[in-house]
Homo-oligomer: A and B are copies of this chain.
Amino acid sequence: MAEQIEQPGAGAGAPRVIVAGATGFAGALAAHLLWRHPSFELVAVTGRSELGRPLAELYPRYRVPLSVQELDTDGLASVDAAIVAYPHAAAAPTVAALREAGARVVDLSADFRLRSLETYERWYGPHPRPELIEQAVYGLTELHREQIAAAGLVANPGCYPTASVLALAPLARAGLIADVVIDAKQGISGAGRAFDEQTHLSMAGENILPYKVAAHRHTPEIEEQLAALGCDMRVQFQASLVPLDQGEMASCYVTPTRALGAEELRELYADAYAQEPFVEVAETPPGTRETVATNYCRLFAAADGHTGKVLVFSAIDNLWKGTSSQAVQNLNVMFGLGEGEGIA
């Protein structure tokens, strides 16, 4: 299912990749990154609408000349890997077909992020392909790099869990979290290619809007990941939309299990991420702008002497590290490439 257009990047023999669901924001960016990638060959972009239209027409700035085609599940034999960018529940069957054809998959949906089927079904409804859950590896690269390297199916994290879990992991691992409130803010690209009151510039502009109050589906995902680090608790997670395009800040307010000093905190974070190419521990509060169009997560932790709480601020680009560049980071790991190839 490959088109005959010369790709600037990859040479002969590179793994052949497709993006399934390339018409949304996440899939389109993934296609852009793979099209320019030096070590993957992007052989097709598929969609459920806009068939036959060059992706470059839908997203001129991404300059991917391939045309959107239907996913031909019979022609997957020559496909080595796929990024799947369908909504939850729609993703699972496509993932299954790709897995059956032998392709390694990074799935951007929520379908394989949760280890617990029961939790999934409470938050998302019936799971279309529950038997695949156990082969899935949670794709927060920094936490699960080794399993990702060997995985056939990687469940790419939600953007909020990416920012939140990277922020909290050092504290969670050390058993230091007694309670946590996460107040996250995100630009409008987080709403995706949806055309409605939440995305119209004359409504979303000049606005700050909390949404999905006390009901955000990223909550159980954060809780499962923290639990896996030894911190089993209910997490207060709340998101707001703010008027920018790409950018996400998770502001975490931790009640620690014991008093924590500034120096101890500094060391905890420095040690945790010293070897990580895409996590920066900053010396001042990060702005999300510092991460726009990059795969970086930028963290700042502070002890509040007045309240005894620990504050951690975690900035990412929700479409990049929060979604599509992290998917490529995972693909790089899965295929033994340099982790930053095509995204740094």
Expressed in whole angstroms, the Cα–Cα distance for A221 and B214 within the complex equals: 28
Question: Quick one: copies of this chain in the complex?
Answer: 4
Q: Please state if A304 and B236 are interface contacts (CB–CB under 8 Å).
A: yes
Of A195, A287, A344, the most chain B CB neighbours within 10 A belong to: A287
Given contacts A196-B195, A294-B61, contact A206 B285 (CB under 8 A): no
Nearest Cβ in chain B — how far from A189, in angstroms?
4
Cβ contacts under 8 Å, A150 to chain B: none
Q: Please state if B60 and A185 are interface contacts (CB–CB under 8 Å).
A: no
Contact among B219, B253, B286 with A60 in the assembled complex (CB-CB below 8 Å):
B286
The reply on A69 being an interface residue by CB < 8 A is no
Cβ contacts under 8 Å, A331 to chain B: none
Expressed in whole angstroms, the Cα–Cα distance for A133 and B343 within the complex equals: 42
Expressed in whole angstroms, the Cα–Cα distance for A241 and B247 within the complex equals: 13
A: contact size bracket: 35 or more
Q: Which of A75-83, A197-205, A267-275 contacts B (4 or more CB under 8 A)?
A: A197-205
Q: Please state if A289 and B211 are interface contacts (CB–CB under 8 Å).
A: no
Q: Please state if A287 and B242 are interface contacts (CB–CB under 8 Å).
A: no
The reply on A240 being an interface residue by CB < 8 A is yes
Q: Please state if A309 and B236 are interface contacts (CB–CB under 8 Å).
A: yes
The reply on A183 being an interface residue by CB < 8 A is yes
Expressed in whole angstroms, the Cα–Cα distance for A214 and B284 within the complex equals: 12
Q: Please state if B206 and A302 are interface contacts (CB–CB under 8 Å).
A: no
The reply on A315 being an interface residue by CB < 8 A is yes
6 contacts between A and B (CB under 8 A): A61-B292, A187-B202, A207-B289, A208-B249, A208-B287, A213-B300
